[in-house]
């Protein structure tokens, strides 16, 4: 029995070491200028590179409530969070314009929004969102998503007429702040397709060797 127990302990130790080695050996997620995996050193975007994405329509809906705006957001990739953890992203500038529907103005609040880019699959940007709707017939509507997940699709770049995309599909935002409970729905659903506008080169999800 002692021999069996000893063998069992050795096996457990080996498995633990193997699991630890596998976890620490995972590749880091990075943004690459080319569609290659792993990404060559010369094709990697440097930390603090600023990316800008634009959506011709950002739609917020809930039943008969609807607001549509043009949306633009930008910010840098700050740092690698470690193997398998993704990259930290900071959204520092957000603008909404040409809003129509139940409200005519949308303003980002709580900037910067902090998020995480993960190469996946699937590749995603999970980011906080917070904004205020005004021009709503005298009412204010504040909405927030602690982690809005946008799906990322790599592209060859603006110059190649194949920009990278970030899609918000069914993202739920919850009413809060100074919102009017009489006018503002408890939740709204966001739908938008943001296209890369800066930099002009390709953006692809990849990993380090």
pLDDT recorded at residue 27: 67
Q: Is 36 in contact with 43 (CB distance < 8 Å)?
A: yes
Q: Is 81 in contact with 97 (CB distance < 8 Å)?
A: no
Task: Give me the residues of the chain with pLDDT under 70, please.
Answer: 1-27
* Alpha carbons 57 and 66: distance in angstroms, whole number: 12
pLDDT recorded at residue 83: 73
pLDDT recorded at residue 26: 57
* Alpha carbons 141 and 178: distance in angstroms, whole number: 7
pTM of the model: 0.84
3 burial level (CB within 10 Å; 0-12, 13-18, 19+) = exposed
pLDDT recorded at residue 79: 87
Nearest to 50 by CA among 91, 86, 87: 91
Provide the CB-side half-sphere exposure for 54 (13 A, CA): 9
């Amino acid at each position: 029995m002692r021999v069996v127990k000893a063998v069992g302990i050795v096996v457990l130790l080996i498995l633990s070491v193997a699991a630890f080695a596998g976890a620490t050996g995972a590749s880091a997620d990075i943004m690459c200028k080319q569609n290659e995996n792993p990404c060559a050193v010369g094709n990697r975007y440097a930390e603090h590179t600023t990316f800008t994405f634009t959506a011709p329509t950002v739609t917020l809906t809930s039943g008969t409530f609807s607001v549509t705006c043009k949306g633009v957001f930008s910010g840098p990739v700050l740092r690698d969070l470690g193997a398998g953890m993704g990259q930290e992203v900071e959204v520092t500038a957000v603008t909404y314009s040409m809003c129509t529907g139940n409200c005519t103005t949308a303003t980002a609040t709580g900037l910067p929004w902090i998020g995480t880019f993960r190469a996946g699959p699937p590749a995603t940007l999970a980011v906080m969102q917070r904004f205020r709707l005004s021009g709503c017939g005298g009412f204010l509507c504040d909405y927030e998503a602690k982690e809005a997940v946008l799906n990322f699709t790599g592209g060859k770049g603006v110059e190649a007429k194949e920009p990278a995309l970030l899609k918000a599909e069914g993202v739920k935002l919850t009413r809060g702040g100074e919102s009017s409970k009489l006018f503002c729905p408890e939740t709204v659903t966001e739908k938008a397709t943001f296209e890369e506008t800066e930099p002009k080169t390709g953006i692809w999800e990849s990993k380090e060797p």
